[in-house]
A and B are shown apart, each in its own frame.
Chain A
Amino acid sequence: MGKKVAIIGTGQTNHCSSREDLNEMELVYEAASAALRDAEMTIAEIDAVVLANMELFEGRALHDMWCGEGGGAFMKHSFKISTGGTSGTSGAISGYYHAASGLFDRVMVVGFEKHSDGNTSAGMALTDPFWDRHVAAAAIGNFALSVSEYMADRGVTQEQSAKVAVKARRNACNNPHAHLQMPDLTVKEVLESPVLAYPVHRLEMCPQSDGACAIIFASEEIAKKRCPRPAWVRAAVTRHDHIYLGEVKNRLATMRSLREAARVAYETVGIREPLKEFDVAEIYDPLTYAEIAWYEALGFCKDGEGGRLIDDGITQMDGELPVNPSGGVISTNPVGASGTIRVAEAALQIHGRGGKRQIPDVNLALATGYGVYCWSDVVILSSRPD
């Protein structure tokens, strides 16, 4: 069992489709500085830095070298985490492990991506050279394949999917950092947007964003001294599944990496009824259908009832379990930062610093990460250290 660790500060850039006013290192610096301000800390106090980024999307290697100084890593203990879409949550989990080991007292994690620098489609194409490069159809096509299986299996409708998009883009209006803020979006507009890969419409997919997010983890003694309401890390679990899409049966419906990570995390914290016990959830929803599938995988409802949860408004801001008050990944997706943002937003809700997107009285918050074909991270934060 690791030592007690809490998140005491977070910082984000204002995410958008293109930050042409700065380069990637400056983007990292912006988020790191914001987190230090939030934690009322100086960079001199930080003793380890973890950087998280999805490599090759910007067409650059060695991000820890080019951007490390922007994250304050100069002459400090520093690592880079790169696990596809889960990079940001895995980076946060790594930051937690550093502090929980007892070897580091103040750890900063910075997740970042500058999609506008590069070509995401090319990055996605640089996969397995023997098979996938030839036949895979990037993230959207791969998702669309899984959606057809999921719809056939669970009977989820296009309208239910579109409702997720509407919820996300409306929630995003309360988040000054969110990329796609669409207060008046309707189900009809979502379903009339162009089909990218049948049955997935453009407005059902996440955007590509430029952005960075930083989190500061602190040991128990420091957290209690420096933060009025620390967000204690109660569980952090990561699971990876097979490398080829076709080896995972019905992956959206089964999503065994997320189910297994959640099972272990829930057991660690003693959670039996996640829908009732969590006050808020920030889940990694790369597209609308995935959010509905994750409701089921995370045990918010029985299998096949995910669509009902969105129909009944259970996951809206005023529902029993608000999901993604930030607007989620569907509204904002700087990939390497997207997972870090989930953890930061969950922490923000416990800190009580959520501004217009704050849910009242948050004591238990869930954050998840999703990456590659089926990798998952689950992080549980609490207002109580034990």
Chain B
Amino acid sequence: MNRNREGEELLRVPIHMKLQYRFPAGAHYERFFRELKKNGKIMGVRCPECERVLVPPRPVCGECFTRTDEWVEVGPKGTVVAHTSIYFPFIDGSTGKPRPIPYGAGLIQLDGAYSAINHILEEGDPDKLHVGMRVEAVLKEEREGNIGDILYFKTVEE
């Protein structure tokens, strides 16, 4: 399939692009990331109707179609509700580069939150990960105001 009928190698048009984007965070993410950066706190918002505490914070509860504006601190400890260990070099969407493997990833339900968040787990060995295990967020020292300020979640004994 790599040659045409005349036996010549098929033509391909190579494109290499470097693109840059800047996304305004919006009022809710603005507050979330500022709290994380300045005070090292993870915040959620409670829906006034269904009372679910949503993390990441959403300006509108999808289920109730209602504005959310009651802020509550959640975590930094939480429970692993799902986990995996990644052995395939996926592209990190924030850098465009493959993330070093292997690493652990999990859905973590922070204490006080309804929704779980997906994030990196310090523990990458599948034999040491299980649903229901307790973890705690480890934050960067010099925080920048983005989700990378949470480095990963470490296993804690309770």
Query: Does any Cβ of B come within 8 Å of A148's Cβ?
Result: yes
30 A-B pairs (CB sep. < 8 Å)? A20-B10, A119-B91, A122-B96, A124-B90, A125-B90, A130-B146, A131-B147, A133-B94, A134-B146, A135-B117, A137-B86, A137-B118, A141-B84, A141-B105, A144-B84, A145-B107, A148-B82, A148-B129, A152-B131, A197-B88, A198-B126, A199-B84, A244-B56, A244-B115, A244-B117, A245-B107, A246-B55, A246-B81, A246-B116, A246-B117
B75-112 contact mask (Cβ, 8 Å, vs A): 1 or 0: 00000011111111011111010000000011111000
| A interface with B by C-beta (< 8 Å) | 18-21, 59, 119, 121-122, 124-127, 129-138, 140-142, 144-149, 152, 194-200, 242-247, 249-250
B137: Cβ under 8 A from any A Cβ: no
- Given the complex, which residues of A lie within 8 Å of B65, measured CB to CB? none
User: Could you tell me if B21 and A148 are in contact, using CB atoms closer than 8 angstroms?
Assistant: no
Collect the chain B residues with CB atoms within 8 Å of residue A133's CB.
92-94
Contacts known (A18-B1, A127-B93, A130-B23); A136 close to B29, Cβ less than 8 A = no
**Distance in angstroms between the alpha carbons of A133 and B29 in the assembled complex:** 15
In the assembled complex, which residues on chain A have CB atoms less than 8 Å from the CB atom of B114?
247
Contacts A148-B129, A197-B86 aside, 16 further interface pairs with beta carbons under 8 A come to: A18-B1, A21-B1, A121-B90, A122-B91, A129-B94, A130-B56, A133-B93, A137-B105, A140-B90, A145-B106, A145-B118, A197-B105, A198-B85, A199-B84, A245-B107, A246-B107
B74 at the interface (CB under 8 A from A): no
6 A-B pairs with least C-beta separation:
A133-B93, A125-B93, A246-B116, A144-B84, A198-B85, A247-B115
**How many residues in B have their beta carbons less than 8 Å from beta carbons of A?**
46
Task: Report how far A122 CA is from B89 CA in the complex, Å.
Answer: 12
A141: chain B residues at CB < 8 Å are: 84, 86, 88, 90, 105
Give the A-B pair count, Cβ closer than 8 A: 138
Min C-beta distance of B90 to chain A, whole Å: 5
Within 8 Å by CB of B126, from A21, A129, A194, A199, lies: A199
Contact of A135 among B87, B88, B105 (CB under 8 A): B105
Beyond A145-B105, A145-B106, A148-B83, is A246–B115 a contact (Cβ under 8 Å)?
A: yes
| List of A residues within 8 angstroms of B94 by Cβ | 129, 133-134
- Complex: A199 Cα to B25 Cα, angstroms: 35
Within the complex, the shortest CB–CB distance from B10 to chain A, in Å, comes to 5
* B2 beta carbon closer than 8 Å to chain A: yes
The answer on a CB contact under 8 Å between B84 and A21 is no
Q: Are A129 and B23 in contact (CB under 8 A)?
A: yes
Question: B106 to nearest A CB, angstroms?
Answer: 7
Q: Is B15 on the interface with A (CB-CB < 8 A)? A: yes
